[in-house]
Amino acid sequence: MHEPPRPGMVVQVGAAASVQFGGRRALPFRVTRVAERPTYHGWCWLTGYTLDENGEAVARREIYVQFAGLRPVRRQPQKPKLLLAPCAIGRKPAGYPPGCRRVRRSAHDESD
């Protein structure tokens, strides 16, 4: 990269960005802020989140790196998360989570 990353970008931080991220210490990083404080030419302070193998934020960090050593990462579509739907009106199917309760239908709803 020839300029600091923008907030929202995901970059691979490795040894080319800073020796502390060499080898197994390399990490994917989602940038949330680029500090405007003065630094050496070609270096920048980044605030953001380290990501796990699923692209989920693991820890918030502030890192000091050479932006020429950062490698942009293409975002892969995230797998949809399994969400529990609220209880349906009507009969309570087996296997619903605790707290769901049966709701009585009115005579108006019995038209099906």
Which pLDDT score, from 0 to 100, does residue 74 have?
82
CB 47, CB 32: distance < 8 Å: yes
Q: Where are the domains of the chain?
A: 10-72
Report the Cα–Cα distance between both ends of the chain, in Å, rounded. 62
What percent of the chain is modeled with pLDDT above 70? Answer: 66
CB 110, CB 48: distance < 8 Å: no
pLDDT tens per residue across span 33-69: 999 988 899 999 999 999 998 889 999 999 999 999 9
Half-sphere exposure of 17 (CA within 13 A, CB side): 26
| Res 3 pLDDT > 90 | no
The residues, ordered by sequence, that sit 6+ positions from 45 with a Cβ below 8 Å of its Cβ are 34, 35, 37, 39, 62, 63, 64
Which pLDDT score, from 0 to 100, does residue 48 have?
96
Average pLDDT over residues 26-39: 93
